[in-house]
Structure formats: structure tokens, C-alpha cells
């Protein structure tokens, strides 16, 4: 079915991403994310990885099955916006 991936938050309360199934409104995935807001999120085609970016100048790639960090990209020179 159709899915909706959202990401956001604020600097005070931190960031959050969530994946919803549109037909039911059910939240399928909501991994915890660090102390800062999120500006972008992307789901891999097989739905096994979730990439998150924000003002930390890193892209964190999480495993959707357990929320663990699969890898990080730290070489970004500025905020990751999308």
C-alpha cells in the first residue's frame, strides 16, 4: 500500500521520523533520533534502510528492522536539507 514518510522536530525537543501506512493510518516505524531536528528522510526501495539528515552535517542510515545505525556519512559540508 501507499506509505507516507515524515521527518521534523525542533532544536529543543529533538528530531523524529515516522513512516505511516496511508490506508489505515497505522504508524509502521518511528525510530528515535538525536538531539536535533531533522530536515530530510528517505526510505530505501526495499524498505530496509532509512536515511536521516539535519543540521548535524551528517547523514545517518538506520536499519528499519531494529532502528540501529547501519552507517553514517560525516563528510557533508553543511546542513543536510533533503
State percent of the chain over pLDDT 70: 96
The pLDDT of residue 69 is above 80: yes
Cα gap 4→28, rounded to integer Å: 10
The residues, ordered by sequence, that sit 6+ positions from 74 with a Cβ below 8 Å of its Cβ are 57, 58
pLDDT band at 30 (very low <50, low <70, confident <90, very high): confident
| 56 — pLDDT class (breaks 50, 70, 90) | confident
Query: pTM, whole model, 2 decimals?
Result: 0.85
Separation of alpha carbons 50 and 76, rounded Å: 18
pLDDT at 52: 92
Band (63; pLDDT cuts 50, 70, 90): very high
Amino acid at each position: 500500500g501507499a506509505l507516507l514518510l515524515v521527518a521534523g522536530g525542533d532544536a529543543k525537543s529533538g528530531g523524529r521520523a515516522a513512516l505511516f501506512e496511508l490506508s489505515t493510518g497505522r504508524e509502521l516505524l518511528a525510530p528515535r533520533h538525536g538531539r536535533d531536528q531533522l530536515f530530510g528522510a528517505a526510505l530505501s526501495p526495499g524498505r530496509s534502510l532509512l536515511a536521516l539528515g539535519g543540521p548535524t552535517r551528517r547523514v545517518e542510515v538506520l536499519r528499519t528492522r531494529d532502528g540501529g545505525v547501519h552507517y553514517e556519512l560525516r563528510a557533508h559540508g553543511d546542513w543536510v536539507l533533503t
